[in-house]
Each structure stands twice: as C-alpha cells, then as structure tokens.
Structure 1
Amino acid sequence: MNNSDTEEKVLEGDNILINGSFEGDVDTRSELKFERDIESEDEKCKRKCIEKVLVCGSTTLKTWKNFAVSKYGLVADDLRYQIWPLLLEVDPSTDEKIPSLEELADHPEYQQVILDVNRSLKRFPPGIPYEQRVALQDQLAVLILRVILKYPHLRYYQGYHDVAVTFLLVVGEAVAFRIMEKLSTEHLQECMEPTLEKTDYRLNYIYALLYKVDRELYNFMDTAGVGTMFALPWYLTWFGHSLNQYKDVVRLYDFFLATPFLMPLYVATALIIYRRTEILAECCDMVLISASKFYQDYPPDTLEKLVQKRVEKALTERRKNEQIMRNRLRSQRSLWVRLNNHIPPWCVFNRRNKLGLIFAAATVVISYLYYKYGINSRLSLFGTFKT
C-alpha cells in the first residue's frame, strides 16, 4: 500500500464508514477556530509557576514534561514557543540558510506538497491579510520540503502538513524546522516510510487495547469490520486534521510532545471507549466514527486522566508479567547454572571459551600424570628413608 494512494482518500474527510466508504470526496474539514478564552485563575497561577521556572534557567526535562501533561498544559502559545523546543531537546538557534520556495521546485514531492498546502487555508487564523497568508503558506511548503530534502529516506505523506502548520504557527519557521526534523526522525519516522505497512500494524494496537479494556466493544467493532482506517488521520496528524478548535489541537500537542510516540493511539482508544454507548447503539453496517464529534464536549483534562489510567494499568500488568517470567526462569535453571553461581570464577568451565577448554584439558592431563607417576615416586622416597 502506497502512502499517497491511501492517504489522499482518507484525509479528504474526517468521517469514515466502517465498510470502507468515505463520506465525501471533497475536503470536509470545518474551519479551525482560533477563539482565545480568558485565562482562568488556575491557568494564571500555572502560568506564573512556568514563568518562574523559565527565569530560573536550570531545570530538568522531567519538569517540562510535568507541566505539559498536567492540567491546562502549557497554558498559552507564548509559553509553548519557549518550552516545546525544550521538550524535544532541540536547539532553537540556527544560522542555517533557509532556501526559497523556487529553489526547492525541482524536488519530486514539490507538486504534492504545494497541492496540500494550498488546501490548508482552513488551518490558518481567519482574517489575516492575504499577503501574510500567502507568506505563511510559502513558509509551510519550504518547511516540509527542507525536512524531506535533508533526509532523503523519508517520504512525505498527506497529513504531514497538518502537523507542520501547527508548529509553524506557534514557534515560527526556524524553530519549526528543528522540531519537525526531530519528530520526522523519531515520532513520525514509521509514517514516513515508502509504504504504510508499519503504520497499519501500529493502528492495530487500538484493538489490542480495546481487547484488554472493553471486550464487548472490541467484539462489536471486530464483528462489524470497522478496521483501523478511521484512526489513520488521527495518528498521522496527531488529531490536527480532525479537530476544529485550535486550543484543543495545541493542548494535545503539549501532551504528545511530553509522552511516548504511541500516545496518540492511547488517546484514540480512550475516545472510542468514552463514546462506546453511541457506537454500540449503531447498526453493525452503519457505524460512523468521527474524531471531531468524539472530542466535542470531552474536556482534555478528563481525556488525559483516562489515558494516564490506561497507561499506568498497562505498565503495572507489564511489570507483573515480567516478574512472573523471571520467577519461572529462575525455577527452571539447570543444575549446572546453579552450581556455577557457587564456584570461583577461575574454576568455571565455559564450553564456549577456548581458553576454558584448554585449561580443563590441561588439568585432566596433569592430574592423571601426577596420579600415575607421583605415587611411585613417593613410595620410592619413603622406602629410602626407611632403610
């Protein structure tokens, strides 16, 4: 399965029917809303804590991660501008020359990137002057092409621009390149392979999680043949393609930047479980899964608690299984292995070690010669003294 063949249809719309048909052949994304709410007292308090740590200058990565995953995240974009690079441990300063869009026009992915960027109008703040919007679109195209030009083994996929535009809007072109460079070679690397084989495999983790947490829902979706295509835009774009509230997108990005790269799959599973009643109420052949609908009226803080609970439960079970395995191996150890633990190292015979083999052979020969000739020598010597 080729990236461009599948994603072009998947990312056209947010809603996907379980039988594989798509709700529309045009871009059905709603306009991204950029309303900024007045910060609450709790948010102001957290802002002061973050600013205090920023002024301090000496802190650990764990501190920034705690700020990012805890309630309200990093609060606002002015703080994200400073902390997102710290979360990924990238150097925001750069003296690298930024090429113009014309200089990158010969790249094989150029036409596809330009096509997707031109369709990303809804992801930019409304009301900005035409010239500024065009400049942002050019910066977005250059940002994407620079990454795949620097790393030729990476392949652009449709939806990559949804991730890139978020970082471009928050931290600017120079820092966004450093962040996208880091994410593309780590978090998103599997998504940027020539085929979607590994990505499809990862998406099946959703069903593995459902099987452990909600067996009834798992059986229903498995019987209905829902598959994993509905979650492909969620995973490829970190929900940036599917949500229509800018504050929700950046809040999730706070969370994803501070957690392991598979966390979007845990969030997807949590969303499905949260809406289980609606899913189970549908006919098996008409189940519709929509990220924007699921996320509506679903506070990010509630989502984070649910995801964290699932992660902690999975870690606890993993530790328990590892301990059982260690105990089993300990009880099944051979007599030879147990004896080796009580024999001095210089006496241990390692069958894979040539020196050990030579030492063992020499020991046997010397012992035999001593036994054969040593006894006669001692008897002769004893007879001489007796005489």
Structure 2
Amino acid sequence: MMESHISSEVTSVDEENSSLMFNDDSSNFDKTSDLAVDSNGYDENEDTRSELKFDDVLETEEEKSKRSKIEDALKNNKSTLETWQKLAIDKYGLVNDDLRRKVWPLLLCVDPDPSEKAPLLSELSQHSEYNQVVLDVNRSLKRFPPGIPYKQRVALQDQLTVLILRVIMKYPHLRYYQGYHDVAITFLLVVGETVAFRIMERLSTDHLRECMEPTMEKTSYRLNYMYPILQKEDKELYEFMDRATVGTMFALPWYLTWFGHSLNQYRDVVRLYDYFLASAPLMPLYVAASLVINRRQEVFEIGCDMASIHCLLSQIPDNLDFELILERASKLYKKYPPNKIERDVKNRVQKEMEQRRRDELRLRRRLDKNKPVWMKMHHYLPDWLLLHYKSKYGLLFATATLLVGLYAYYLRATESGFSLFKTGSWHT
C-alpha cells in the first residue's frame, strides 16, 4: 500500500529561493502581503487575474477554422453536452483560453454562484492541511505566467491556497494530495477563482475522488491499467518493460496532475485538460499508455534496465505530437475499455503481490542465516522464556530458567531412584 500525499515535486534553486519570500507561515505571509500593499499601492480588491497572460501563440489556419466552429456552437442555443465534448476532444481542442473560459464550465455542467464569497486566507490558516498546501503552492512557480509581477504572483498564490482549502473543507472526507495544486492552478489561470472552485469541487467528487482517499491504494491499482493496454497493443514493448520490472511509478504524477506537473509547455497542459474534461475519468491512463507507445524506440534504445527506463519516461520532451498521442488514446479506449481489461489488471496485481511475498520470504531467510544461534532461538521457544532475546539480561534469565528446571528434575529423579545414567549398557 502506498502512503498518501506522495510528492513528485522537483524544485529548482530559483523556486526554493522564491518560496522563502512567500507563505512560510501565516504571520510571515501577512507581513509580506502588507508590504506589497504599502510599497506598490496594491488594492486587495483589485482583480489581478485579467493581467495574467502567457505569451500569445499565433493560430494556424486550421486552428482559426476550429475557433469559428466553437464560436458558432456558443451562439447556437441547440448545442448540447455532446457538442462540447466533441469539440474539446477533436484536433486542437478548444484552441485558446478565451474559449476555454466559456466551454469548460459547460463540459462539467457547473453553474457558478457569484454570490458565494470566498473566505479570507487568514480564516483558513488553522486548517490541518494549510501548511502543506502553502508549501506546495510556493513550489509551483513554474506554472505561473512568465514575468508575472510580484503583487500579482502573491495574489495568485493567495487565490490558489484558498481555492484548494475551500474544497477540502467543504468535503472533509477528501484528502489533499501533493499534485492537486497542479490541477487547481490550471483552472484558476483559465477561468478565475469563482468558476475554478466549482470545477475543482466537481472533479474532486468525481474524476479525482480515488486520488483523494486517505491512502493511495486505489490510485496505485489504477496505474496498472497501462500494462494490459500495452500488452494487447504492443506486445514487444510490454515484454521489454515487464522484463525490466519498470513498474508504474513513472506515471504517478501524470495521473495525479493530469500531466500538469510533468509538461513544460502551458499550451500542452491546457490542450490535455480540454481532452480530459470531455472524456471518461480513466482516460489519463490511456493517454499514459499512448505516450509510452509513442516513445517505444527510445525505450528500446536505452536498454532493458529499470532505472534507465523509469528516468527516460519520467521526463516528457517538449516536442511530442500530443494530437497524435490523444488520437491513439481514443482508439485504445474504444478497443480496450476498462471493463474489458479489469480481469487482466486484477491478475497482474495478484501476481505482483505473490512475487512480493516470495521476495520478502527469501530476504527473511537470508537474514536468518546470518543471525547468531541465540537470536534464532526465538522461533522455537516461547516469548515468555526469552523475553528480550536481544538483551544480555534476557538471555541470562533464559539460561538461569533452564538450569533451575534441570536441577529440579535432578532432585526428583534422585528421590525416585531413577537416573538417565542407570539405564541399559550406560550403567556406571
């Protein structure tokens, strides 16, 4: 069983230095915020989100055509959920953030209530998860727009922390996990604080629900879906990775963050979010399998070594064709839906558990061979006799008990005239 709150963060030196400026504790954070207000004239009611922009990317002719389709669908009051899903899944997704801001809520059927006011950060600082959330938010600077001014970064960090804590306070049975903030910041950047809360609320009780359980047992189980998919689609690649015992840990941050933590290009992240919001909850696993297949040649070239393959797959290059990867993922889902590979997943997990037990038994036997004789005695003598067999006093007590028993036996044998030394040819 894997522990909850697994961290896959890799923090750069710059990020670590920057994080010292923010939210190390509630008192320091308040002082920093006050300083920002005094020196920059920052109004806490100012909407800084409108200025949070990533570098603009010119749209191709195909993307402009796709934009027109989306805009037409938004004007058409006969557009349905299926309309939005098809547009989000098809090539180029929703094209740009101005369209995502309108369509993402429609994909999840959320109806934001602007009258519900978000709590202040100071009101949430006593929550048990507050310190961990703040720590993770401080380490997510690479997800912020490049060159973002100081006051806007502070404001965005505040909003992100409040957004996360609002969800887990509203649903106490849900547990925050490290990586959740990577999902939350994507929605915060695109749709703003009010709509982002409704979206995260919906996803946390649906798509991400298993990831927010007290342990990561179900999440670990889900990751095994990749291998039956690989086995059926690319047997050579499957056998190579299985022989190298690569496992599934390389894909854990992919699944927990919808690839948000593992991708360097913002454009790729939001494109994948278009796709996932319009797809079944387990679709990230099919995208993971598709991505591995996409890099099959690199896997073969690096050699059949667990550490090397894990390292290779953990780092996703910036030049991948995600449209091709998503198209293959859709085909894989149709060919091998979850209900058809569930038995294969259970068999794989069972085999891994049995192998783990054999490995543990083999290790225990190897360790036993190297133990002194007196340490092995605890397998054959009762605990009350040995007491603390690692203690010399426990051993002395055990020896004394044995000697007293032998002496008592000798006295009784003497009184009855019986002796082990008076039998048969051994009489002396």
If the length of structure 1 is used for normalisation, what is the TM-score?
A: 0.74
Give distance in 2, aligned partners of 1:317 and 1:112.
36
Residues 280 and 51 from structure 1, CA distance in 2 versus in 1: closer, same or farther, beyond 3 angstroms? same
Asked if the contact 2:88/2:94 (under 8 Å) is kept, the reply is yes
Asked if the contact 1:275/1:294 (under 8 Å) is kept, the reply is no
Give distance in 1, aligned partners of 2:323 and 2:151.
37
Q: Which residue of 2 aligns with 1:99?
A: 119
Q: Which residue of 2 aligns with 1:59?
A: 79
CA RMSD of aligned residues (A): 2.4
2:297 maps to a residue whose letter is: T
Residues 217 and 98 from structure 1, CA distance in 2 versus in 1: closer, same or farther, beyond 3 angstroms? same
Aligned pair partner of 2:227 in 207, 212, 221: 207
Deviates more, 1:237-246 or 1:288-297: 288-297
Superposition pairs of residues 122-161 of structure 1, within 5 angstroms: 122-161=142-181
Superposition pairs of residues 136-285 of structure 1, within 5 angstroms: 136-285=156-305
Asked if the contact 1:104/1:142 (under 8 Å) is kept, the reply is yes
Q: Structure 2: any 5+ residue segments left out of the alignment?
A: 17-52, 342-428
Asked if the contact 2:246/2:310 (under 8 Å) is kept, the reply is no
Give distance in 2, aligned partners of 1:124 and 1:309.
33
Larger RCO (alpha carbons 8 Å, 6+ apart): 1
Residues 99 and 291 from structure 1, CA distance in 2 versus in 1: closer, same or farther, beyond 3 angstroms? farther
Give distance in 2, aligned partners of 1:316 and 1:265.
10
Aligned pair partner of 2:309 in 264, 287, 300: 287
Residues 27 and 212 from structure 1, CA distance in 2 versus in 1: closer, same or farther, beyond 3 angstroms? farther
Give distance in 2, aligned partners of 1:249 and 1:200.
23
Give distance in 2, aligned partners of 1:157 and 1:106.
18
Asked if the contact 1:34/1:245 (under 8 Å) is kept, the reply is no
1:186 to partner: Cα distance: 0.2
1:292 to partner: Cα distance: 7.4
Give distance in 2, aligned partners of 1:92 and 1:161.
20
Per-residue Cα deviation, 1:343-384 (whole angstroms, up to 9, x for no partner): xxxxxxxxxxxxxxxxxxxxxxxxxxxxxxxxxxxxxxxxxx
Give distance in 2, aligned partners of 1:245 and 1:189.
27
Give distance in 2, aligned partners of 1:316 and 1:103.
42
2:335 maps to a residue whose letter is: K
Give distance in 2, aligned partners of 1:26 and 1:206.
35
1:182 to partner: Cα distance: 0.3
1:82 is paired with a residue whose SS is helix
1:58 to partner: Cα distance: 3.0
Percent identity of the aligned residues?
A: 61
Q: Which residue of 2 aligns with 1:303?
A: 325
Give distance in 1, aligned partners of 2:174 and 2:338.
36
Q: Structure 1: any 5+ residue segments left out of the alignment?
A: 14-23, 320-387
Aligned length: 303
Superposition pairs of residues 10-159 of structure 1, within 5 angstroms: 10-12=8-10, 34-159=54-179
1:243 is paired with a residue whose SS is coil
1:156 is paired with a residue whose SS is coil
